[in-house]
Structure 1
């Protein structure tokens, strides 16, 4: 077993800690093993191991300590090491074949270089051969040593890690991709063979006594021009068919990989912890799921183009070698220099592209926010301010684009110069030997065309190089997004919804969205099964946070929340939420029909059930009055409906499936007093037997609750029934008197009682 070093604390606070774990950075397999092992530890409520940061984040109940969490992580690390080959053994197992292959390749390269140099010495001046050899060896060494600084090394490792993850995701389609690559090689081999046949046809018409094919004499005297023409046509057709199916198979596999990646990323974003969703911008997530994912298709397309040109250059090099190995050295001299230049450029431009993608996300967020809030912008006549936000974000993106283009434009001229130089030198050298009768006219034509076949791939790679660099930044962003911790909805004990009675108890619960700003402080409250409890209070008192903790959107910093005497932190999140019908302050409606929005949480519900739920929510009357009834489209985010109509549809959606617990968070805020009274009467009958948690600032909405809890600064300061609280003449009585005076005056409730 490999040695396991102690983890180091990175971030620690009550109920949560993050630890640096040796050997985890860029090791996805180890991350998966550690995470799997930690999720089997009962005290831990959450565990996430990140290969991108090299850290493990865990959450645990308040009675559990950070030191105990560290011991669990080290135990998981030891278990992961026991379940995998040791570091030394694994590295030896991996390095032995790779080392042997590297030795063979280096030896073959040295032998081929020596042979090509010897052959080149017979057709080029000795000084030119030595200069070319020195340039080749020097640039190879420079490219091999061009690792750059620590930042560039880190960036390279991140890129390699992301590409390995993408390769792993494409594993089900490897055979399709390999078939595509084989067809590409076949297409380019046929294309080079066609070039050789062009030379043979030239010799057949000009030098019939010396007809050559790849530098070898053709035995047929004289060759049949019709057969050569037919062979050329067959090669052209075969090349076209092979290239067609090569691109078709490659992109078909790419589309499936991208489809799988988009769904995987969406599921990940959908299951992110709530604090992660709150910290990241909506525009960033939209950019990841749309533009960044789509740019990976460009990576596949550019990669196919580069492989196509590499296959063309390789087959052309083989053609050079068959004609005269000396020309191989001529064609190879500029290659390492271009590689070294590309490495240097990549190291400088990669951070630019990373920042460029970040600025795209920022701009998308600004645009999305402005479009969503266009009514508010117009209402406040703030069009100029909104335009300024877009202008500033767009200007930052423009500046990053200018800098990236400035660096990229230096690469294409260098490649163009090398390609043109290669063609010129080949044409001059081959022409010199052709004029002296050392090669046939057809061989000269073949060499000139093949030199172009080597130059064109250089130019094509230079053309695709910027696309590859920019798409690699998107690949990094996509796989870095997988590092964000997400909920484990299946961790914990199962809970059957039909066995839940609905008894709820908060025991000394503390919570803060930020460590320095407490929201709930020692909240203790009991809600018996089948009873209605209401929470009222001033803005920021923590009323809605009660609902979020019960739904396990967040975990308490201290204390416990019990459901039927079971700690909800030990239950599966998904099972807990399936027991709760939730109607929030903001009702989100999808761009579909009213009926589709009501049955969203219970696919397959019949029309009778939909109508019953709509009647209970006080929505059936206005829905029936619409020309298309339940088939009426609500528009994006329900824009074709009023706020009160959206509210009632949201309530109907929650009531469609009877749940043992119902949370109503400001459900009457958008309703008038008459509609509110009718809705509350209907809800009282419909929700009989369910445990109801009501959050409201209109005290008239909660006056019939079994218990009313008045909150202030994260604490419950008063509790009791409506009559008891009025009799106590405390805060609730004061609020009630204020609201009654406002109602008598025809005004709105005081601002201090909103949410």
Structure 2
């Protein structure tokens, strides 16, 4: 239909042209085409039964009219005799009207025939309602399963997206696409199946019956259809960009709310509530204007099409009355035709009113498909290499990397860590220390150069195998909603309670967990159960301890821990590091004095390397950092 028309998405340079959003949207339903066929049959049955209703009601009207007229006519006379007498008296119009129905002079209303007809009408409407109920349940079943599969596809897509995607897009924006846009898309698809299918079948069926009753009246109705559809399409095209703006502003507002909520403590501490409120008001105003514009424009469709169809209704009523007076059709046929005229116009009005939701749904679908079309991280090699057992020999060979093309970060860096060696990476903020960890974990791939694990290029390994041999503890303490024991056991699925407690003791977690009312069964919520930042960081260290990885990557892992506890942690970590390669990124230089190798970075390059004593004796960049 015109309202569904949408140009295909533009092709990416060098890529095949992708199907249009509408095509992809309905492509979600292809796995359910068998059930869709059943829905189509049920819809045809429902509409067919509903279409019989006006015809039968018209016959009922004719029975009542004929009965009322026959009461005033002499009993025993025939209909032809009565009509001849009326025409002799000059009452031609009345004669024409009576000639359109079967009149038995003096009989009155045939209540038996009328009762049978009404019971038949009731049975047809009852069967139609049951068919509609089954159809609705099938539609709900299909749509829910289709959206369930879509959410699973989105979730799988998110796991394949590179870290750079999440660096570019605010979390609230991503969440809005996954939740708000998918929910809106679901409403659109559900309405589309029932609305569009029923509307098309209704229009075809009603048109066939109207042509059978009166070709002239049917043509009068058809004249108004193109006008109504042209109006709806014209308004719909102008509403489409407004709906795109609406859902973009919804994503921006969600991102701002998520940011303000997560940073509520800092906003309060710095007294920036008014600024946050102003920013919220600005984004809310943008969303209000785009939403109001979209709804205001799309809201014109209903009144415009209704005006055209109401005008058509009046024309049909007048033309029908003239044809009754001319004896061409009966009153019951005109009554049925007027009902059919309404039934013919109603789907057009419904589709026109639905076009606003359709444009909104298409805007959401476009955002969802944009997410699904995002470039993924490079796939695993067809024949991946394996490293077993992992010894932990890591080599960065002439590695260069930049997050953005115009801003170099790491240039021709070479670094070797021997198995079991403790390598500390130090340097000022922005020197590229954390980036080395991201490259080792393959959150990003180098622009040039290689990273080798036990002599094997890590790009030849699957990401799962590579990351399973590396234990990461970052300065951002990530804990999920669950018990403390479950958060620690996250490091090694299947770990026993005894192993969890042993790891907690080694990392000084046991001492504060025992003081909690529920101990290890304490549930951490969004506020992390009232634990301090240092206590949360200790839990993440216990998680890494339990995992027993071949390589440890500690990115400011003790930044939130007091000095005394850090000393205890360092002693416990010494046994954990035995035989394992460890990379420690630290600003607190006093904590890495015993490192086997200290690598000093500045502006993406290694400027110094050696032990603490060697670097202090050189009195260079490291010595100045340490003294500072």
Alignment TM-score, normalising by the size of structure 2: 0.88
Q: Out of 272, 275, 284, which is 2:173 matched to? A: 284
Q: How does 1:64-463 map to 2 (within 5 A)?
A: 161-207=20-66, 224-303=113-192, 304-463=194-353
Q: Distance in 2 between matches of 1:217 and 1:500?
A: 98
**Which is worse superposed, 299-308 or 478-487?**
299-308
**Which is worse superposed, 406-415 or 521-530?**
406-415
Report Cα offsets for 1:155-177 as digits up to 9, x if no partner.
Answer: xx98x612222233322222222
Change (3 A) 1:459 1:342: closer
Change (3 A) 1:258 1:52: farther
Change (3 A) 1:343 1:463: closer
Q: How does 1:647-686 map to 2 (within 5 A)?
A: 647-686=537-576
Report Cα offsets for 1:372-420 as digits up to 9, x if no partner.
Answer: 1111110011111001111111112222223323422332222111111
CA contact (8 A) 1:274 1:554 kept: yes
Q: Distance in 1 between matches of 2:627 and 2:297?
A: 70
CA contact (8 A) 1:216 1:323 kept: no
Q: Distance in 2 between matches of 1:216 and 1:281?
A: 73
CA contact (8 A) 1:593 1:631 kept: yes
Q: Distance in 2 between matches of 1:337 and 1:294?
A: 33
Q: How does 1:575-614 map to 2 (within 5 A)?
A: 575-614=465-504
Report Cα offsets for 1:27-49 as digits up to 9, x if no partner.
Answer: 9xxxxxxxxxxxxxxxxxxxxxx
Question: 1:343, CA displacement in angstroms?
Answer: 2.5
Question: 1:692, CA displacement in angstroms?
Answer: 0.8
Question: 1:716, CA displacement in angstroms?
Answer: 1.4
**Which is worse superposed, 491-500 or 478-487?**
491-500
Question: 1:52, CA displacement in angstroms?
Answer: 4.6
Q: Distance in 1 between matches of 2:596 and 2:434?
A: 19
RMSD, aligned α-carbons: 2.5
Q: Distance in 1 between matches of 2:242 and 2:389?
A: 57
CA contact (8 A) 1:588 1:637 kept: no
SS in 2 for 1:509: strand
Q: Distance in 1 between matches of 2:465 and 2:219?
A: 69
Report Cα offsets for 1:589-619 as digits up to 9, x if no partner.
Answer: 1122212222234333221221122222221
SS in 1 for 2:161: coil
Matched, 1:692 2:582: yes
Q: Distance in 2 between matches of 1:53 and 1:458?
A: 37
Question: 1:726, CA displacement in angstroms?
Answer: 2.8
Matched, 1:616 2:475: no
Q: Distance in 2 between matches of 1:496 and 1:682?
A: 31
Matched, 1:645 2:535: yes
Question: 1:525, CA displacement in angstroms?
Answer: 1.0
SS in 1 for 2:482: coil
Q: Distance in 2 between matches of 1:473 and 1:52?
A: 18
Cross-structure match for 1:135: none
Q: Distance in 2 between matches of 1:470 and 1:217?
A: 54
CA contact (8 A) 1:666 1:694 kept: yes
Q: Out of 34, 38, 53, which is 2:12 matched to? A: 53
CA contact (8 A) 2:299 2:353 kept: no
CA contact (8 A) 1:509 1:521 kept: yes
Change (3 A) 1:54 1:226: farther
Question: 1:216, CA displacement in angstroms?
Answer: 11
Report Cα offsets for 1:8-40 as digits up to 9, x if no partner.
Answer: xxxxxxxxxxxxxxxxx969xxxxxxxxxxxxx
CA contact (8 A) 2:313 2:341 kept: yes
Q: Distance in 2 between matches of 1:540 and 1:493?
A: 37
Q: Distance in 2 between matches of 1:551 and 1:471?
A: 38
Matched, 1:723 2:626: no
Greater length-normalized contact order (CA 8 Å, ≥ 6 residues apart) = 2
Q: Distance in 2 between matches of 1:415 and 1:616?
A: 74
SS in 2 for 1:434: helix
Matched, 1:494 2:453: no
Change (3 A) 1:602 1:328: farther
CA contact (8 A) 2:252 2:283 kept: yes
Report Cα offsets for 1:213-262 as digits up to 9, x if no partner.
Answer: xx9999xx977333322211111111111111111111211111111111
SS in 2 for 1:521: strand
Cross-structure match for 1:707: 597
Alignment TM-score, normalising by the size of structure 1: 0.74
Change (3 A) 1:601 1:168: farther
- Count of matched residue pairs: 586
Q: Distance in 1 between matches of 2:409 and 2:475?
A: 18
SS in 2 for 1:625: coil
CA contact (8 A) 1:306 1:464 kept: no
Cross-structure match for 1:520: 410
Larger Rg: 2
SS in 2 for 1:656: helix
Q: Which runs of no fewer than 5 residues in structure 2 stay unpaired?
A: 1-6, 71-78, 80-99, 104-108
Cross-structure match for 1:542: 432
